[in-house]
């Protein structure tokens, strides 16, 4: 690591963020419009070069803030993987550390920096492909990570605002997995998993079109789920 002889270079280091949310019951991804005037330039994940004195995760937060006008100081943000093929960026070697962010639907990203940003449903992604650089490789990795982590961690609660109903939580699972779930069995599993969710005693939420009011819950303390919530 402290070699520093011939053949070794310094690389540009960047962060790219795959920010996922559930909007209109569909898993959606934050994309930013390219800054080049080129007409058929590709959309991309928000990404920035990392600064001298900045940690990687701070760089990830800054990329989302500067490119999509979205402040995510408390959102879930975890490292996904690092993409460093020598030829992945045509302008020179750039090693990019990708992050996965999960947020409740922020209604609308307000673009800063003069570009536009938008949420695109995963199933409509083809309309914006191909993405810039190797972002078409990063995005499936991000979605698979999210799908997989919903099985054995409590991360699903990061997609909803507190307090939430078990119906809200079920719709998160359904959107991320792309599968419909039995409400009765889902409820039993969530409630019986220790510290997954905590009921807010005596508080309920009514729905616009009728239906029995639903008990409200907050996030529990569990990080890993025992037992796991396995995909159907």
Partner DNA sequence: TCAATAGTGTCTTTTAGACATTATATG
Partner DNA sequence: CATATAATGTCTAAAAGACACTATTGA
* Residue 165 interacts with DNA (CB under 7 A): yes or no: yes
Q: How far from the centroid of its chain's Cα atoms is residue 25's Cα? A: 15
Q: Which residue from 113, 182, 195, 223 is in contact with DNA, where contact means CB under 7 A?
A: 182
Range 14-33, binding a second copy (CB under 8 A): 14, 16
**Helices within 52-202 (DSSP H only):** 56-68, 135-152, 166-177, 183-192
Query: Is the CB of residue 99 less than 8 Å from the CB of residue 3?
Result: no
Rank residues 66 and 105 by Cβ distance to a second copy and give the closer one. Answer: 66
Query: Residue 39's CB: how many other CB atoms inside 10 A?
Result: 5
β-partners of residue 44 are: 32
Please report how close the Cβ of residue 13 comes to a second copy at its closest, in angstroms. Answer: 5
Rank residues 10 and 221 by Cβ distance to a second copy and give the closer one. Answer: 10
* Residue 232 interacts with a second copy (CB under 8 A): yes or no: no
Burial of 79-98, coded b for 16+ CB within 10 Å and e otherwise, reads ebeebeeeeebeeeebbbbb
Q: Which residue from 40, 52, 107, 201 is in contact with a second copy, where contact means CB under 8 A?
A: 52
Of these partners, a second copy, DNA, none, which one is at the site of residue 129 (CB under 5 to 8 Å by kind)? none
Q: Which residues bind DNA (CB under 7 A)?
A: 165-167, 182-185, 187-189, 191-192, 204, 206-215, 227-230, 232
């Amino acid at each position: 690591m402290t070699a520093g002889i011939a053949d070794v270079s310094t690389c540009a280091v960047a962060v790219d963020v795959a920010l996922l949310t559930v909007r209109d019951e569909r898993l959606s991804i934050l994309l930013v419009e390219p800054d080049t005037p080129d007409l058929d330039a590709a959309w991309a994940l928000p990404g920035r070069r990392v600064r001298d004195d900045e940690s990687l995760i701070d760089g990830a937060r800054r990329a989302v803030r500067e490119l999509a006008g979205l402040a995510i100081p408390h959102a879930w943000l975890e490292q996904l993987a690092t993409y460093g093929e020598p030829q992945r960026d045509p302008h020179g070697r750039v090693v990019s550390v990708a992050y996965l962010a999960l947020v409740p639907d922020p209604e609308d990203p307000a673009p800063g920096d003069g570009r536009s940003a938008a949420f695109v449903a995963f199933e409509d992604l083809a309309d914006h492909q191909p993405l810039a650089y190797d972002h078409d490789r990063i995005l499936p990795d991000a979605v698979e990570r999210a799908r997989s982590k919903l099985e054995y961690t409590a991360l699903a609660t990061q997609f909803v605002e507190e307090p939430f109903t078990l119906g809200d939580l079920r719709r998160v699972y359904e959107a991320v997995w792309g599968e419909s779930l039995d409400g009765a069995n889902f409820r039993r599993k969530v409630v019986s998993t220790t510290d997954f969710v905590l009921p807010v005693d005596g508080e309920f939420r009514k729905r616009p079109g009728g239906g029995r009011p639903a008990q409200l819950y907050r996030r529990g303390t569990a990080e890993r789920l025992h037992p796991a919530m396995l995909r159907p």
